[in-house]
Chain A
Amino acid sequence: MSQAILRVQKISGHAGSVPGEGTQREYTVCKLIDTTTCIGCKACEVACMEWNDLPFGETVFDNTYQTMPETRWNYWNLILFNEHVREEDGSLMWLMRKNQCMHCAEPGCLAACPADGAIVQYTNGIVDFQQANCIGCGYCITGCPFDIPKMNPKTHRVFKCTLCTDRVSEGLEPACIKSCPTGCLHFGSKDDMLDLAGKRAKQLREHSNFPHAGVYDPPGVGGTGVIYVLHDATKPEIYGGLPSDPHVPWTVKLWKGPLKWLGNVAMVGGLIGLFVHYLRFGPKAREEEDINPSGGKP
């Protein structure tokens, strides 16, 4: 991925300082997906495949217009099709939601990743996988509340939407945005997109018989770099299982929070024990140990 003008603000599995952290006042980029004007044409799917030069895969008919059941390591952008009957009046809705990496402000994948530099977050908010540093452990897959990253079973490397880092770093919009024919996709600063989304949701509430229209920007992951306008923001689940309150999984939190702390305590405790043992019993005969006092992070 091009990193020409992108600076890193978070790095997975990394000890010490992060070069880009707090050094830039770059705004956060954001994709706005207005599901109320999406027609499920799949231009974004094709543009994603073409721009990222992804290899074709086999698909089978699965009783739906949806291309495949979920995103793949080589298929990062997938429109989910769902038939939904409205409780209010029994009318049918055919919901189409473009599904891809949400580029969370607090990315669960990055938190879960143990490999130094395999996942980074740039100062513009893009969460990007660096496959060269990936160790294929798959923890990022567990860490993602949106079930997005997928592993290539042959290379054991994990892939997902890059938010077209290479295009964005050159001042272009992502390929999916460029290809959208109806203008249901927008790209810009998070502030601008939130403003646009809020206005559209208001219009839907006031003029289109969608009293619960709203914007999806879940706080549980610190907000997302991909936001949705939904006909009914109180029921994100109807859009192919969009979580209503996504969080980084408790296992990852536990592991990266208290467990990590406990681990450090245990390790430091072990060292202290070792030292006490040394004071008390002296060195092992004819054996020198070089003890590194700094506790390594997992």
Chain B
Amino acid sequence: MTNGWVDMKNTDMMLIMGGNPAENHPCGFKWPVEAKRTRNAKIISVDPRFTRTSAVADLFCQIRAGTDIAFLGGVVRYAIENNRIAKDYLVNYTNAAFIVKGDFKLPADTDGVFSGFDAKSQSYDKSTWNYAGTAGGDAAHAASGSAPPAPKLPEKVEFDLTLQNPNCVFQLLRKHYSRYTPEMVERITGIPREQFLKAADLFTSIRKDGDMKKAGTIIYAVGWTQHTFGTQIIRTAAMLQLLLGNVGRAGGGVNALRGHSNIQGATDMAGIFDNLPGYLKVPTPADTSFDAWIKRITPTSSKPAPWDSFNYWGNTPKFAASYLKALFGDAATKQNGFAFDYLPKVDRNYSWVQLWDDMYNGVVKGMLAFGMNGVAIGPDSQKNIDALKKADWLVVGEIYPDETSEFWKSPGITQGEMKQIQTTVYRLPCAGFAEKDGSFTNSARWLLWKNTALPTPGDARLDQAIVAQIFLKVRELYKKDGGKFPDPILNLTWNYTVPTSPSLTEVLKEVNGKALADLEDPATKQQIKAGQQLPGFAWLKDDGTTSCGNWIYCGSFTEAGNQTARRDPSDPSNLGLHPGWGWSWPANRRVLYNRASCDADGKPWDPTRKQVWWNETTQKWVGNDVPDFKVDSKPKDHMGPFIMNPEGVGRIFAPLGAFADGPFPEHYEPIESPIDNPLHPAQTHNPVVKRFKTPDDKYATPKDGYTVVCTTYRLTELYHYWTKNNPMNVQLVPEPFVEISAQMADEMGIKGGEKVKVSSIRGEYIAKAMVTKRIKSMMIDGKKVYQIGIPIHQGYRGIKEDEGKDARTLVNLLTPTVFDPNAYTPEFKGFLVKLERA
């Protein structure tokens, strides 16, 4: 989130879309309710079905799954046409005024793709997706040879503050979304024109007559991310929020609701293959040295000449050097590039779906599966089961016997077949969440320490103890037998009091980082002695005198102790900041980009919600929140509030390599869709999305008989594939079900409670029908389309499953193996099925 859970109480307007927080985040949902109660804030709920969130919303729109960009693009158009935009904000804090290169082309002019598309490789040459300007840009692009250096942003960007230049970002934006008329939105999304206009009017009403006081928020979850254009949906939301001047504001922002208690922490700590902790980009084989890597990943500022840009990622060398010092200690020296050679170089895609594909193809031989149930998670569970059959070994750390560890006896496998499976499965009893301490990082980026509530039962062990012991054994073998490249393993720092079970307190201290030499701040003369914990990332050095496991977590465990364990509930500003409760990254700042909560002179847009402001007397930025800005940058210097972008401003146009599939989001259909794309029927899908090619990878069209749009989701009553083992949860939702509309049920003669079979081209799911008015049939581009929804929680292991009381099928037997080209998230949320009585 740019903002946070508690901050939602400050809002005047909520667009909740691609998420169902009342269902999946009931505790956090208290804050939207608080805003309704105390501010008369409005909720607009846009969802494929009427949800628990819709039940308390002021306006509901039923959208066809996977058409969110069309809806949001329509709102962008509505805001521009009706002049409900934040003009000053737009000009000063976004790249709306920047001029884009003349050879850049929009999909309307290029058959549904942006300029630079190469159909053969299904990828873009992004050199036209750039600003016009001087230095950088063109020269680099013109270089010839097999591997030309990547094009760069110009140092000095051409701009037009009147926003009239036909090639300025604002005019391109207007042109691009002028096609997203209410009629087009209706054809694509199925939302009747009048209903869409009501929603667009309500959401943009906060900028009526140019008033800047009110703030609106956009709240989403995996209903947006789990599409083959998921990242671009979120981009559209971000652009809309920039257009309305809602980013950086209390009660504003673009707010991702993270589904698990620590999923934000997992991303922050690089639980993804293309990042290192703190969102540093991983080295590739082309990065032959530390310096080459740093040169590639450190941006230089790119802005209109009279403006200033902090370009905070310019500090990348400090973050990277300190990270390597934390990993390899004394073995990382300035001379050896801080042991850069020890870092693995990522040569291709190692994302979730790709890993299973690799296992299926015999490339990946074994898997350590902790804290997840890979077969059930899918997509295409059958492919995952088939992949595991081919693996040599599988280690599962779990608290229950799960679908993954019992893949070899999944429904449909015969005794004879079972004997053929040679995979060795090790099942290790792990600790449950209440049996571990450590920190959770919540959706609001708050790190909150928790204590152990219970001892681990029986032979169960802490996850970190299991991983540590595996590591120590591997290191022992390397020490004994040598190996191709033992150095990274032998030199990894492992200075824990109990090496076989590292204390998580020690780990957090290590992640925060410490001084390796005596340090002094030249401005304040503050000193830090060697060995002391660092108070924040401003102290990080690129010369090897600091170590830090994750720069954004620097400040979480200082000499003053574990900041994440703080529990001071006070909130002097009454803005829900609670600065003494836990600790949030970065620098305990609760709302990101909060400089944008003030006008160009540094005065808050809304004097009743003062976050930060420019103090003329002290010539500093001060506030209730920690300013997300260079504290002594005078307003007249015009430094942009979006300090993580080299431009210093928010990107309505995302230049160059920021995204794989376009600088503006364009509506593309899900890989399986009931219609051709009405915007450009010849280019229905996201052009850069690739399909997999194993015999298990099949993709259907309506011509194959799969005409019903299916989406999947979670329930309040159950937690993933876990709580089906708990009698309390099972009592609340005893059986799997499929939600279908009353019209569809009537037409097919299905009654509520009767068994139905849902089939995709990949698999079948059997459950009872829930016939409801909360889903309706839709008119999509003139065609009547049915939409159904299935909660994901059941499988073939659990209380009811073991009793044989349900069909023991997994929802993800239905879902396709295909993913978003930017975040690599699979498309769980929109695909085609057929439905019949079972």
Contacts and interface: CB of A to CB of B under 8 A. Distances in A.
Interface of A: 36-43, 45-46, 49-50, 56-64, 67, 83, 85, 91-96, 181-184, 200, 203, 207-209
B22 interface: yes
A41 B773 contact: no
A99 to B, nearest CB: 15
Contacts of A181: 26-27, 29-30
- Please tell me the size bucket of the interface on B: 35 or more
Given A42-B717, A43-B26, A92-B50, 15 more contacts: A39-B22, A39-B26, A39-B29, A39-B716, A41-B23, A46-B732, A56-B727, A59-B734, A61-B734, A63-B770, A67-B732, A94-B54, A182-B33, A200-B37, A209-B58
Contacts of B773: 83, 85, 92
A69 to B, nearest CB: 12
B501 to A, nearest CB: 32
A61 B23 CA distance: 19
29 contacts: A37-B33, A37-B36, A38-B56, A39-B23, A39-B53, A39-B55, A40-B55, A41-B23, A42-B732, A43-B26, A58-B734, A59-B731, A59-B732, A61-B734, A61-B753, A61-B768, A62-B752, A67-B731, A83-B773, A83-B774, A94-B52, A181-B26, A181-B29, A181-B30, A182-B26, A182-B33, A207-B40, A208-B40, A209-B58
Nearest to A39: B22
Contact of A41 (B26, B40, B54, B728): B26
In the complex, which of the residues B731, B735, B752 has the most CB atoms of chain A within 10 Å of its own CB atom? B731
Q: Which 6 A-B pairs have the closest CB atoms?
A: A63-B752, A39-B22, A61-B735, A94-B55, A41-B26, A181-B27
A207 B39 CA distance: 10
Nearest to A96: B55
In the complex, which of the residues A36, A56, A63 has the most CB atoms of chain B within 10 Å of its own CB atom? A63
A62 B52 contact: no
Nearest to A59: B734
Contacts of A184: 33
Interface in B35-65: 36-37, 40, 50, 52-56, 58, 60
Interface string B153-175: 00000000000000000000000
B23 to A, nearest CB: 8
Contacts of B437: none
Is chain A's interface secondary structure helix, strand, loop, or mixed overall? loop
B26 A45 contact: no
A206 B679 CA distance: 42
Interface string B708-741: 0000000011000000000110011011010000
A41 B716 contact: yes
Interface in B250-271: none
Contacts of A208: 40, 58
B97 interface: no
Contact of B774 (A60, A62, A94): A94
B774 to A, nearest CB: 6
Nearest to A208: B58
Nearest to A60: B734
B26 A56 contact: no
Interface of B: 22-23, 26-27, 29-30, 33-34, 36-37, 40, 50, 52-56, 58, 60, 716-717, 727-728, 731-732, 734-735, 737, 752-753, 768-774
A94 B774 CA distance: 8
A257 B683 CA distance: 80
B29 A45 contact: no
Contacts of A57: 731
Contacts of A61: 734-735, 737, 753, 768, 770
Contacts of A209: 58
Nearest to B769: A63
A183 B54 CA distance: 17
A175 to B, nearest CB: 14
Contacts of B735: 60-61
A83 B752 CA distance: 14
Contacts of B50: 92, 94
Contacts of B716: 39-42
A183 B30 contact: yes
A58 B732 CA distance: 10
Contacts of A38: 56
A50 B33 CA distance: 26
Contacts of B768: 61, 63
A64 B715 CA distance: 13
Contacts of B30: 181-183
B753 A63 contact: yes
B753 to A, nearest CB: 5
A60 B768 CA distance: 11
Contacts of B737: 61
Contact of A39 (B34, B52, B58, B774): B52
Nearest to B742: A83
Contact of A64 (B27, B33, B727, B770): B770
B22 to A, nearest CB: 4
B38 to A, nearest CB: 10
A203 B731 contact: no
A56 to B, nearest CB: 5
Contacts of A94: 50, 52, 54-55, 774
Contacts of A43: 26
